Structure 1
């Protein structure tokens, strides 16, 4: 029973000291809460930086893909290429001087 009474006496002493020094207890709790807030805000800041880096990487990848698509579009729309495809697949040719007909409107 001495162990139980010793524990009770320690608890009683602790409670009386805490109630006697309320300002110190409040300051201690404020310091702990402030430390937890700093930890949480640092973690949130790191997560946001990681997300920003991923978005910047994705932007760079999309920019490279867009540049490649612009180059491909320019290559596919070249006049010489289109003319060669028309001659090959549609069997069309540029009209000669004798094949041209001029229509006059009054």
Structure 2
């Protein structure tokens, strides 16, 4: 009777990869490494885009605040408003040059 020979599949794959398929194994490793680098670069790119968008929003907020401050400065430095406050709250009035007394 003929004895059946059993083959170990793991040994066959190992022998095929490391003795006959070194180039294919190297290419497989390079493709996997390339895929991981693509994932890493994509992650960093998206992170940088999100940071840029946050900075744009902050810039817009600061720009709006700056414009409001300029408007407030113009309103507060209006001469008629200052004159009205001086007359009403501080009881100030214009001095007639003829009534001006010089101290000697």
Name the TM-score class by shorter chain.
0.7 to 0.9
What are structure 1's unaligned runs of at least 5 residues? 1-5
- Which runs of 4 or more aligned residues in structure 1 lie more than 6 Å from their structure 2 counterparts after TM superposition? none
Partner Cα separation in structure 2 for residue 13 and residue 94 of structure 1: 109
TM-score by length of 2: 0.83
What are structure 2's unaligned runs of at least 5 residues? 1-5
Q: 1:29 maps to what in 2?
A: 29
Q: Name the structure with the higher helix share.
A: 1
Kindly state the Cα deviation for residue 64 of structure 1 after the two structures are TM-superposed.
Answer: 0.9
Partner Cα separation in structure 2 for residue 94 and residue 88 of structure 1: 13
Aligned CA-pair RMSD: 1.8
Q: 2:80 maps to what in 1?
A: 80
Q: 2:49 maps to what in 1?
A: 49
